[in-house]
Structure 1
C-alpha cells in the first residue's frame, strides 16, 4: 500500500515541547470541540463545547443542517482559545455539492434517508456485486455514497455541481479555503480503488458521475490552509492558525488511537455504530470476503481497516429517546442495572435487521423482530436492554471470528474504544461472547486520533506505533476477562445466526 502520512515542514519539536490542538469531532447525534495538549508522555483532552446534531426533515427528504454545525464549530473554536491547528472528523459517506462559485447547492442528505433503498440493489445488479467489490472492496450498505449519487442522477443540484465534498472536507474548506478529499473518508464512498487508493473513473462513469467534480485526494497530516480572515475574526484565533487534514472519517481517527502495542489485536469502535475488525497491510478482496460483506477502508499510513458495520449503541439510544418522548425517561446507569439482573438470552435480535435502521419507535421495532422470529418480546425495559446488549455481543463475536478467518490473522485480544467502552455490561458481555480479553478505552478515541495526527505534523509524536504507545501510557483503560458459560454463548450464537445464515 502507498500513502504514508506527510509531515508538515515544521522542525521536530524538542523533548519538553507541548502544544494544544483543537479537534472538531462530529457524530451522527452530537458534536463537540475538544482541545488536546500533547507533549512527551503527555496527552490530555478538555472538551470545550458540545452541541446536538439533529437531522432536518424537509419536503425532499432527510438532511444534515451543516450551516448550524459549522456555526457550532466556530463557537467551539472561540471557546478553545489559542491552538496550533484545527482538525475536523465526522461520520462517513455523506456529501455536499458546490456550484461554480463555490456556493452550497442545498443541504447534504442524511445517510438514513430512504431515497437509496430501491436504487442500491439496482446499481449493484447493473454493475455486478462482484465487480463493485473487486474495485472498491466495500461492504454493501444502501447508503454508500456511490448509491446516493446514483439516486441523485438527473437532479438539478448534481447537474449544476462543480465540486463534491464529503462533510468533513466541506467544513475544512469553510475554515481554511482549500479543496480536497481526505483518503480515509473517500474510501467509504465506493468510488475509491481499494488497491491503488485513487479515484476509480470507471466506477464513476458507470453511475453517470462527471469525474471532474471529484477533488484531489489528500492524506491525513496534509496542511489544509490557515483560517480564512472571517473565520479568524469569528473565533478570535490568529489567521495563521493551521487547518490540518486529519483522518477525517471518525472511525479512522478512533482506530488510530487504539492502544494496541503488539500483534493479535482486534478492535471495536463502538458508538452509534459498532465497527469491528482488524488493521491490515492490504485489502482482502476475495469472493468469500465479499459474500461475508466485509469492508476495506483506508486508515493512516496506508493501513486498511478490514471491518464490518454493526448497528451499535443506536439501538439503545433510540430506545431511550422513545421512552423519553413517551414521558418515561430513564438514566443509563439504572437501565444497565436492570439489564444486569434480567434473565440471559431470553430474546435475541439481529442488530443489522433492516427494520432497525431508522424506525419511529425502536422498542416496538425490537418487539416486532422478536415476534417475527418466534420469540416472546422483552416484558421490561431491563429485559429489552439485555436483549440489545447480548445481541450486540454476539454480533461482535461473529464478525471478529469471520474477520480472523477471512484475513488469516489470529486474534488474542479485543480493544473496545469509543463511547461504548464506558458501558461495563457491554464490555463484559463482549469478553464472554468472544472468549477473549477486552481492553476498554479510551472512550475519547476519535478525538484523540484527530489530535495525534495534528501533533504528528508538528513533530510531537512519531509513527503510528508511537502514537499508540502514548495512548496506552496516558489514558485510562479497563480490562475485562472472559467468563460465564461458553456453551451458553455457543447455543445463543446458533439460535441468532443459524449455521450457514448469510451476513446481510
Structure 2
C-alpha cells in the first residue's frame, strides 16, 4: 500500500504528514504566518509555500517512491486573484481582517435580503465569507479586481503552484457564499448581482480529483519521482476532518470538528434551506462525499489560544498540564461566556485583549469575572459546552433526528476537560478522536482517488479499527 502526503494548514500552524490510515508521521511542522501591514491583516502565502516544499523534500528524502500522492487542505473562505498568466494581483487577506465589518447587511440588502441569499447558497452569514471579502475589494480596490482573471482559494492556489493546473475544489468553493448547493455550481445570479466578472470563477472539481504531476522544477527541488500525483483532496479542512469521523455504516454522525473553530453538525444527503436553519445559524457546505455538511460555526479554542498568547507575551510560562490542573481546581466558578458573541472573533491588540473581553462579558451579564487563569478556562470551556448543547437542540429540531452520541475530532478533542463537560452538558456519550482527523481525512480521500479503498466508508471503517478513540459518558 502506498503512502500519501497530507499538507494540512490550520489557522495557527501547518504540517506535512506522510502515511496511511493506520500509521503516519509529521515530517515537518511550521507556523502559518500572518502579518498586519498598515492596519490590514494578510497571510504570508509565499512563506507557506516555501515551508510546504521543505516538508515535501523531507518526505521524499525519507520515503521516496513509497509516496503515491499529495493533497492539500486549509481553512475556508480565503482566496487570491490572479491575472491571465496566473500571477497574483494582490496579497491574500486574512479572514479576521476588519475590512468586511458591516458588509453582511449592506450586501444582503443589495441582493434582495438575507433569505434570498440563503435560498441560493445555504450558507450562514459570517462577516469573513468570501462574498463580503470580494465586496470589500470591489469597494476599496476596484483596480485590483478589474485586473483579475482567476479566483483561487488558498488550497487551489497552492495546488496550482505545485502543478501548474488551475481548478476550484468543491468543498472549499462551498464555503464562499458564492456557491449554489442545489445546482452544484457557482451561484451565478449572486455573482451577477454583485457585479463580479463571471470569468473569474473557474471549473469546480470534486474532492478526490487528480490534478496532475508536480511541475518539473518543483519535482526536482523536492526530490519527487515522476509518478507522484497531486490530488484535489477535500480542500476545506473541515471537509477533510468530517471524512475521518469514524462512524459505522448507516450511522448519521453528529460531530464537532474541534480546533480554532468548533464545527458542529451532521452529514446529510440534501441541503436544508429554510428560515429555521437560517435563524439558527446553520450552514450547508459540501462534504468529501459530495453530500452536505449541515453545521454551525462556533468560536472554538481560539478564545483560549488568544488568552494563552497574551499570558505568554507577559512572560508567563504556560504549562498545559498545570493549566488543566488549575481549571479543575476552579470548577466551582460559575461564570461562562457565549462564544457566539462577535467580540471574541478578533485577535488580541494592545488596546483590546481577549482576557478583557471575557471579563467585560461576564460583568455585562451579571457574573463574577474570572480572577485566575483557571477561572478564565472554566468560563471558556463551560461556555463552549453550553453552546454545543444549545446547537444540538436546534439541530434536532431542524432535522427531526435524535442523537445519542457525539464524535469530537481534531486537535481540540485532546482537551479531556471539555470532552467531559460536553458529555455532561449535552447528555450524550462523547467519542473523542482521532486527533489528526483532518490529515487522516485528507489521506482517506487520496486513497479513494487512487483506488486503494473502494469507498469513503471503507476508509472510516479502517479508522474505527486503527485509530485511538476515548469515550466520555454524561
CA deviations 1:406-445 (Å, max 9, x no partner) are 0112212100000011111010011001100000000000
**CA deviation profile, 1:177-196 (whole Å, cap 9, x unmatched):** 11111100100001110212
Which blocks of at least 5 consecutive residues in structure 2 are unaligned?
Answer: none
Which residue of 69, 72, 97 corresponds with 1:113? 97
Task: Report the CA distance between 1:359 and its aligned residue.
Answer: 4.1
Q: Is 1:410 aligned to residue 402 of structure 2?
A: yes
Contact 1:22–1:451 under 8 Å retained in 2? yes
| 1:75 matched to 2:54 | yes
Structure 2 CA distance for aligned equivalents of residues 220 and 100 of structure 1: 25
Taking the aligned partners of 2:293 and 2:284, their CA distance within structure 1 comes to 6
Select 1:281's aligned residue among 269, 286, 289.
269
Tell me what 1:51 maps to: 30
Q: Is 1:479 aligned to residue 461 of structure 2?
A: no
Q: Take 1:19 and 1:281, find their aligned partners in 2: how far apart are those partners?
A: 31
| 2:333–2:375 Cα contact (<8 Å) kept | no
Match of 2:358 in 1: 366
- The secondary structure found in structure 1 opposite 2:224 is coil
Q: Who is 1:27 aligned against?
A: 10
Is residue 140 of structure 1 aligned with residue 119 of structure 2? no
TM-score (norm 1): 0.90
Match of 1:150 among 110, 135, 138: 135
In structure 2, what is the Cα distance between the partners aligned to 1:462 and 1:402?
35
CA distance, structure 2, for counterparts of residue 411 and residue 92 of structure 1: 27
**Do structure 1's residue 465 and structure 2's residue 457 form an aligned pair?**
yes
TM-score by length of 2: 0.95
Residue 64 of structure 1: which of 24, 43, 65 is its match?
A: 43
248, 257, 261: which is aligned to 2:244? 257
Q: CA deviation at 1:305?
A: 0.5
What displacement does 1:207 show? 1.3
CA distance in structure 2 between the aligned counterparts of 1:369 and 1:64, rounded to whole angstroms: 30
Query: What residue number does 1:356 align with?
Result: 344
Q: Deviations over 1:104-153 (max 9, x none)?
A: 11211000000000222211222210000001001110010011111111
How far apart in 2 are the matches of 1:429 and 1:109?
Answer: 36
CA RMSD of aligned residues (A): 1.1
Residue 433 of structure 1 pairs with residue 425 of structure 2: yes
Aligned to 1:340: 328
How far is the alpha carbon of 1:329 from its aligned partner?
2.5
SS, match of residue 270 in structure 2: coil
Cα distance in 2 for residues equivalent to 1:461 and 1:331: 41
Provide the aligned length of Structure 1 versus Structure 2. 461
Counterpart Cα distance in 2 of 1:228 and 1:239: 9
What is the SS of the residue equivalent to 1:225? strand
Q: 5+ residue gaps in structure 1?
A: 1-17, 483-504
CA distance in 1, matches of 2:375, 2:458: 43
